[in-house]
Amino acid sequence: MLGSGRPLPAFQLENYLLTRCQGQFISAGVTYELSKVTSEWGWRIIIAIQWAWIPPLFALLWFAPDSPWWLVRKERYEEAESVMGRLTDGSVNSKDYVSMMRRTTALEMEQQTGRTYWDCFKGTDRRRTEIACMAWAIQAGIGNPLQGYTTYFFRQAGLSTSDAFKFNIGNNATSFVGVLLSWPLLYYFGRRTVFLYGLCAMTVLYFIIGCVGIPSDDTPGINWARASLLVVYLFVYSPSIGATVYPIVGEVGASRLRGKTVALARMTYCTVFIIINVLVPYMLSPTAWNWGAKSGFFLGGISCFCIAWTYFRLPEMKNRTYEELDLLFDRGVSARKFASTDVNAYEDYDELMAGKAKS
């Protein structure tokens, strides 16, 4: 649990951590070993290994429980309590938690929160959809661009092919440690703080990477400095933008629209990801734009606009129940005041319903 009274985002972070550990780390090791194979099996095996994940994933899905929120909306309360017992470490009272879910669902029904994708863009849900989409778009546009091309970046930075693949393995190990740090960081500092300050640090590193890319010297010291800065950047990215976006997207949507909000946010992520992955090869390739490490200036400039959006629009959701978030969004509380605004879910709920009755 991450100190919010809501355990589910912790499992989203664990999934991200497992993906980082089992997927990218293993991929880096396999790719390094197969980089020595000069036949066509050097790339065929890499593609074939991806299919090995399908059977265990299906096995895990067979044992995955239904969402307790979905069960509450279907009025299957006993099953929801049972699932909550499986998803938590015993520190949460399942009965009380399900009661909170029932009250939150009732509140959103009173607020006429709908069931279609169009409802994600109505009233206060429009702001919540914006936050989810922008948070994931920032990860795709600012956090991921060089991450998918680390080995290629290391080569363009001047490292040998062997050193580039070795450095990529170390890079994934460093990123793994960074993701582990997200747990205490989110527990003590919250989502907005970790996301904002991580983004600021990444922006500074982007400009430093760009500056190191200016010298045309191809000396070993300059080459290793460029490569090392990218590793430092990814270490900062992993616990901040890399991991924090998952609880943000998972928590910001109204419970009755959460699945649709996440779907829209993921669609935004994929759109930005496609665009940026078309541009990055041109930035790095010596036969195209040939920016190399100077790509940091371009990405750092975009990151500055992302910092401004994060400061004014991303709220702090740490230690807030979904019911409290509904009330804060309904009041139109500024993102910068989310953490300091006092909310009594039960009294404010009755006041809100009384106001709706008068109107």
Query: What was the pLDDT predicted at 359?
Result: 45
Q: Is residue 170 part of a domain?
A: yes
- What are the start-end ranges of the E strands in 186-290? none
Nearest to residue 340, comparing CAs of 326, 319, 321? 319
**In the structure encoding, which two tokens stand for residue 63, read together?**
């044992």
Cβ–Cβ under 8 Å, residues 238 and 182 = yes
Contacts of 69 (CB under 8 A, 6+ apart): 80, 101, 105, 255, 258
Amino acid letter, 135 = A
Q: Is residue 1 part of a domain?
A: no
Query: What was the pLDDT predicted at 327?
Result: 85
CATH code where residue 29 lies? 1.20.1250.20
**Residues 26, 29, 31, CA angle at the centre, nearest 5°?**
105
Q: Is residue 64 part of a domain?
A: yes
Cα distance between residue 12 and residue 20, in whole Å? 12
Query: What was the pLDDT predicted at 353?
Result: 52
Query: What was the pLDDT predicted at 324?
Result: 85
> From first to last of its 359 residues, what are the pLDDT tens digits of the chain?
333 344 444 444 545 554 555 566 666 667 766 767 777 777 787 777 778 778 887 888 888 788 888 888 888 888 888 888 887 777 778 888 888 888 777 776 765 555 788 989 988 899 999 999 999 999 998 877 777 777 777 777 667 777 777 777 777 778 778 888 888 898 899 899 999 999 999 999 999 988 888 877 667 777 777 778 888 888 899 889 988 998 899 889 887 788 899 999 999 999 999 998 888 888 888 888 888 788 889 999 999 999 999 999 999 998 888 778 888 898 889 999 998 888 776 665 555 555 544 44
Q: Is residue 152 part of a domain?
A: yes
Contacts of 244 (CB under 8 A, 6+ apart): 182, 186, 191, 194, 195, 198
Task: Specify the number of domains making up the chain.
Answer: 1
Query: What was the pLDDT predicted at 349?
Result: 55
pTM of the predicted structure, to 2 decimals:
0.76
Cα distance between residue 329 and residue 305, in whole Å? 24
Q: Is residue 41 part of a domain?
A: yes
Q: Is residue 3 part of a domain?
A: no
Cα distance between residue 56 and residue 58, in whole Å? 5
Nearest to residue 71, comparing CAs of 43, 45, 101, 106? 101
Go through the chain and tell me how many residues it has. 359
Query: What was the pLDDT predicted at 10?
Result: 44
Q: Is residue 50 part of a domain?
A: yes
- Structural domain that includes position 287: 8-92+102-358
Q: Is residue 97 part of a domain?
A: no
**How buried is 77 (Cβ within 10 angstroms: 0-12 exposed, 13-18 middle, 19+ buried)?**
middle
Query: What was the pLDDT predicted at 301?
Result: 93
Region of residue 290 (phi > 0: left; psi between -120 and 50: alpha; otherwise: beta): left
List phi, psi (to 5°) of 11. -70, -30
> Is the CA virtual torsion 192, 194, 196, 199 positive or negative?
negative
**In the structure encoding, which two tokens stand for residue 101, read together?**
């879910």
